Amino acid sequence: MTPQQVSSPKWGGRQLRLAIDAAGVALWSWNVYDDTFTMDERAFVLWGLPQSDLVDFGDLSARIHPADRDRVRAAFAAPRAILGSYEIDFRILQGELVKWISARGQGDDQGIEEGVMFGIFLDVTGRKQAEEAHELLAGEMSHRVKNLLTIATSLTAITSRSTTTTVDMARELTQRLTALGRAHDLVRPLSGDDGKAALLGDLLAILLAPYDDMGAFSGRIRVSVPRMGVGEAAATTLALVVHELATNSLKYGAVSVPSGTLDVSGSDHGENLALAWTERGGPPVVPPVGPGGYGSRVLDRATTHQLDGSVSRTWDEAGVIVNLTMNKAFLTR
């Protein structure tokens, strides 16, 4: 038999039921005079109610999310004056489980028979969750962009005050922004309970790699820290901290000479993480005079305010040592 010879199906009750089941549609009818509903088996399962001949609006209302209850009640009363089809989405509760239902029907008494209106329920939980996820992502992206613009503006102001020529400013600002970019490139989900952005060791290695021709793990810059995750916000802050320390070392410390070494080590102290930045083999150490420059203030402010930690410096003759203490709860944010 050719496709042209296949007869069209006859739509009887069984065929309609099969189509309705395939679409996941639940059927209801509403008596506008006594406010009772009759529903098919799928509708009772959807609402989590025992099957019965009639259900009044109070039975359904008890399952509707309190924040949506009045809106649903008003919506069911209003459709009789609405021209054409109508649709309302609302939440229902099944224990602690929240489902989204879409109720659809015809307004203006279209199709009403002896005071009974007809419509369908659809489970639209998946669609609503996807919409909420998209809204959350859009909000998060907007938040990130605003934060990055704020950081870039602050870095520009700080760099303009700490440099004397436009060439120096362009170079230092580019380095600072590149450090931020490297940190954000590393932001990705992690498996298990390691965190949600990057591993601490990976983050430090990538941030310090530009200052070591042989790489952060095999050359004169060595990183040895506990395995733990760093959150997205903390990764940005830590990138600024590491960049300030590395910039100072490149200008005045161990990284400024081929024989210099840098060790970044960490130890777990319960609620806190301690990092020791230890430089050796560089030029003679000269303690700064006065309160320090803008870079030092950025380092102190970032560690104290954004990582709930502290900074201390030791101007040892063999090389500067910077001890950082950070709250691990803040590091995973």
CA dihedral of 258, 321, 264, 298, whole degrees rounded to 10: -100
d(CA 277, CA 245): 8
pLDDT tens for each residue of 113-160:
777 888 889 998 888 888 888 887 777 677 657 656 766 776 677 677
Query: Residue 257's pLDDT band (boundaries 50, 70, 90)?
Result: confident
pLDDT tens for each residue of 100-116:
989 887 766 666 777 78
Which domains can be identified in the chain, with CATH numbers? 10-123 (3.30.450.20), 170-331 (3.30.565.10)
pLDDT attached to residue 184:
59
Task: Please answer whether residues 196 and 229 qualify as being in contact, where contact means their C-beta atoms are separated by less than 8 angstroms.
Answer: yes
pTM above 0.75, yes or no: no
Query: Residue 197's pLDDT band (boundaries 50, 70, 90)?
Result: low
Token pair for residue 118? Answer: 């007809």
pLDDT attached to residue 12:
64
d(CA 211, CA 253): 12
d(CA 185, CA 173): 18
Q: Which of 28-32, 136-140, 312-316 has the lowest mean pLDDT?
A: 136-140
Burial 58-82 (b: 16+ CB within 10 A, else e): eebeebbeeebbeebeebbeebeee
